Amino acid sequence: MTTFSGVIPPIVTPLLSHEQIDPEAVDRIVNHLINGNVSGIFALGTTGEGPSLSYQIRYEMVERVCEAAEGRRPVLAGITDTCYSESLALAEHAENSGAAAVVAASPFYFQPKQAELRDWFQRLADESPLPLILYNMPSCVGVTLELDLVAGLAEHPNIVGIKDSSGDLRYFQRLCSELRQPRQFCVFMGPEERLADAVAMGADGGVCGGANLLPNIYSSLYRVAVEGRTEEIPAMHQIIDTLFSEVYRDPHRNMQLIPGLKYAMKLAGLCSEVTAPPLTAISEQHAEQIESAFPALQAATNRLTVIC
C-alpha cells in the first residue's frame, strides 16, 4: 500500500493574472519547499485555491509542479469537484503528469448524505489510476466525513489516507487510534498550528499552508515532535503564532490567510500576490502589518533553522 508521512504543504498557485499561471514562480516555490525539507507537495488544495481555478490552470499547475519536483518529492493533486467526470479526468491527468496520489474532498453544493458520499468515493477509488486520499473539510464543503464512513472507505485498497481539517481533536484522535495502524492508513492534520499535537496523537504528518513561506519551521517542528524533543516546540510555535497574527489576520483580526500568505511570499521573492476570485487583495493596512513583521519573522526563522 502507498504511504505518506511528514509535512506535505498545500502549495499556493502563483498567478500572473486570474487566468494565467506563473510557471517560473511554480519552479521557485517547489525548490524552496524541497530545500526546506518537506516530504511532499500537494497541488490544488485549499491554500492552492483549487476550486477557484479554471480547469486549464488546474491542469497546468499539476503538470508544472510535477515537472519542477523532478521526482525529488511525491506530488499529490487535488481533484475535488462537483462533477464526477471532471474529478476523474483530473486524476488521470495527474497520473500522466507523474503525480503519486490524488486528494478529494466531498462534492459540494448539494451536501450529499453519507451513503451518497460512500458511493462517490468508492467509485472514484475504483476508477482512479492513482491512490486516493480523502479530505475532510466541512467548513468549506458543508458536510463531514463521519468516522463510520471513513472506516468503511479505508478498507478500499486504493484509498490510502485522510487529511482532516475539521478542527475536531476528538474526531482526529479516533482517526489515529482506530484507522491508522490496523490498515496502514495515513492520517494527516490540516490545521497547521496543531501539527505537534497531531504527531503526539499518532498522526503521520500535516498539510501545513505556512510551509509555503517557512518550510524549514514546519519540517523541523514535525521532526522534533516525532523525536519527542518537546522542549524545542515552543520556539517554533512562537514563529507560527506570529505568522497567524501578523500575516494571516488583518489589523481587524479577520482571517485573510491566502491573500496574506501570498503577499508575504511576494516579499520573499517567491511569487506575486495575485489571487483568484472571489478572494481579493489585502488592505493597505494589512500589507503594512506584514511588511513590518516580515524581517523579524525571517530572522527568527533563520536562527531556529541554524539551531535545528
How confident is the model over 118-127, as pLDDT tens digits? Answer: 999 999 999 9
Q: How many CB atoms lie within 10 A of CB 191?
A: 18
Strands 101-105 and 159-164: unpaired
pLDDT given at position 67: 98
Contacts with 55 (C-beta within 8 Å, 6 or more apart), sequence order: 86, 90
pLDDT at 137 over 90: yes
pLDDT at 152 over 80: yes
Q: What is the mean pLDDT of the chain?
A: 95
pLDDT at 304 over 80: no
- Dist. CA 197–CA 199, nearest whole Å: 5
- Dist. CA 303–CA 137, nearest whole Å: 34
Question: What does pTM read for this prediction?
Answer: 0.95
pLDDT given at position 121: 98
Tens-place pLDDT, residues 48-80? 999 999 999 999 999 999 999 999 999 999 999
> Following DSSP, what letter does each residue of 39-68 receive, concatenated?
S-EEETSTTTTGGGS-HHHHHHHHHHHHHH
Looking at CATH, the fold of the domain delimited by 6-231 is given as TIM Barrel (3.20.20)
pLDDT at 308 over 60: no
pLDDT at 114 over 60: yes
Contacts with 52 (C-beta within 8 Å, 6 or more apart), sequence order: 276, 277, 278, 279
pLDDT given at position 136: 98
- Dist. CA 196–CA 287, nearest whole Å: 29
pLDDT at 1 over 70: no
Binned at pLDDT 50, 70 and 90, residue 182 comes out as: low
Contacts with 116 (C-beta within 8 Å, 6 or more apart), sequence order: none
What's the whole-number mean pLDDT along residues 214-221? 95
pLDDT given at position 303: 74
DSSP summary character for residue 255: B
Grid coordinates representing 300 are: 527568527
Enumerate the domain spans of the chain.
6-231
Binned at pLDDT 50, 70 and 90, residue 4 comes out as: very high
Q: How many CB atoms lie within 10 A of CB 286?
A: 22
77, 99 contact by CB (below 8 A):
yes
Distance in angstroms between the alpha carbons of the first and the last residue of the chain: 32
H/E run at residue 38? none
pLDDT at 307 over 70: no
pLDDT given at position 306: 46
pLDDT given at position 299: 84
What are 226's strand-pairing partners? none
pLDDT at 3 over 90: no
Helix (H) and strand (E) counts in the chain: 13, 10
* Rounded percentage of the chain residues whose pLDDT exceeds 90: 92
Binned at pLDDT 50, 70 and 90, residue 180 comes out as: confident
Return the SS3 of 140.
Answer: helix
Tens-place pLDDT, residues 241-292? 999 999 999 999 999 999 999 999 999 999 999 999 999 999 999 999 999 9
What's the whole-number mean pLDDT along residues 203-227? 96
